Amino acid sequence: MKFKKNSSVIAIIMGSKSDLPMMKDCIDLINEFDVSFHLEIISAHRTPERLFEFASTAHENNFKIIIAGAGGAAHLPGMCASLSTLPVIGIPMNTTSLEGMDSLLSIVQMPRGVPVATVAINNSFNAGILALQILATNDIKIANKLKKYKDDLSLKVKNDNLNLNVSLS
């Protein structure tokens, strides 16, 4: 598959269609921030040739960041990090009887020199936030939106405290 250069800033990939429900928070967030993305199922074990093609051309296809969700043996994010110089954010999926611990350890325990920025199990939302924060270092529009998002988080805690007092009285 060939991409139109400059068409997508973030590549969001996942190991299986069964990962899609867990990836939705990330996809919705990036949509909300109006950042273009490419979405694809790429399996490290079932479509290794496609993984190689995608990751080894991701930089020349002008992607800035790869977000990769995978469960079980979860080799997808790590192999992307091996094949590309782009920052890779890995999302461990809870898709097996080990409840995502297998994916977490597989994704986070990368060898020296080949990091994958790993978020919590199933926390694709944080993968989206981290990707946007990386882009915001060079994009004032995204930086301003993120500032507002953080301010809203803070405001929510303040309001929760006000409501705590109300519910105690």
Rounded least distance, CB 55 to ligand RP5, Å: 15
Among 8, 16, 106, 122, the residue binding ligand RP5 under the rule CB under 6 A is 16
Asked if 70 touches ligand RP5 (CB under 6 A), the answer is yes
Phi-psi region of 66 (alpha: psi -120 to 50; beta: other; left: phi over 0): beta
Residue pointed to by tokens 């928070």: 25
Contact positions with ligand RP5 (CB under 6 A) in 78-137: 93, 95
Q: Which span sits near ligand RP5 by CB under 6 A: 3-11, 68-76, 132-140, 157-165?
A: 68-76
Asked if 71 touches ligand RP5 (CB under 6 A), the answer is yes
Rounded least distance, CB 87 to ligand RP5, Å: 20
Axis-axis angle for helices 76-83, 48-57 (nearest 10): 40
Contact criterion met (CB below 8 Å) for 158 and 120: no
Q: Could you tell me how many residues make up the chain?
A: 169
Among 9, 15, 33, 58, the residue binding ligand RP5 under the rule CB under 6 A is 15
Which residue type does 77 have?
P
Measured from the CB atom, the residue of 35 and 93 that comes closer to ligand RP5 is 93
Cα separation of 127 and 43, whole Å?
A: 19
Measured from the CB atom, the residue of 72 and 128 that comes closer to ligand RP5 is 72
The total of other beta-carbon atoms located within 10 Å of residue 128's CB is 28
- Which parts of this chain interact with ligand RP5 (CB under 6 A)? 15-16, 18-19, 43, 70-72, 93, 95
